[in-house]
A and B are shown apart, each in its own frame.
Chain A
Amino acid sequence: QQQVKQSPQSLIVQKGGISIINCAYENTAFDYFPWYQQFPGKGPALLIAIRPDVSEKKEGRFTISFNKSAKQFSLHIMDSQPGDSATYFCAASPLNNNDMRFGAGTRLTVKP
């Protein structure tokens, strides 16, 4: 069963635009929400993560927005660049637990 639903599957954005990827989860025990960036043929790299005691976390051009009541969280990439073209995965996990659940991924293409 898919415990973390990610959308869209693919996204095309013009250079300088905002990329938005959304995730929804079901398990209320989840309280750690990371985003990973993966380039073709490489392992995923941790990009940014949030815990539910805050509604937003920003690191450079990357921002996570978190809505606990709706059980949704999203990744915003500001001023998107061609180098951001990659697959992005959201994930969710109970805080001190090995049970990490991943979304299916979003393939982002940023056109120059």
Chain B
Amino acid sequence: DGGITQSPKYLFRKEGQNVTLSCEQNLNHDAMYWYRQDPGQGLRLIYYSQIVNDFQKGDIAEGYSVSREKKESFPLTVTSAQKNPTAFYLCATKREAGAYNEQFFGPGTRLTVL
């Protein structure tokens, strides 16, 4: 079954804790992205990676970190420095880094800070 897997589906965090959201893909896509979605707002880009061991900040990278050690995996860490982390987080992929920007999304992780 090909696609994008995000885990967990729901995540609860206490204030001051770091948490890591998983994103795995078996589509053999080069580029991967993390977006944040808040009610009534469009998706905002946190980080993206075009190739292994390389990633770039998006519009709202503060308080987040990522790694891209494998082509299939692009985990996102929400650090305690992120002041308002409660949101729906979406991972996306694109077939080729230089291709037109057709992005495919995973099912999302809902993060709630208690």
Binding site for B on A (CB under 8 A): 2, 4, 6, 9, 32, 34, 36, 41-46, 49, 51, 89, 91, 93-105
Contacts and interface: CB of A to CB of B under 8 A. Distances in A.
Interface string B15-30: 0000000000000000
A96 B104 CA distance: 16
Interface of B is mostly: strand
B43 interface: yes
B108 A43 contact: yes
A98 B48 contact: yes
Interface of B: 4, 6, 31, 33, 40-45, 48, 50, 56, 90, 92, 94, 98-108, 110
Central interface residue in A4, A97, A100, A105, by most chain B CB within 10 Å: A100
Given A89-B42, A105-B42, A100 B108 contact: no
A101 B45 CA distance: 9
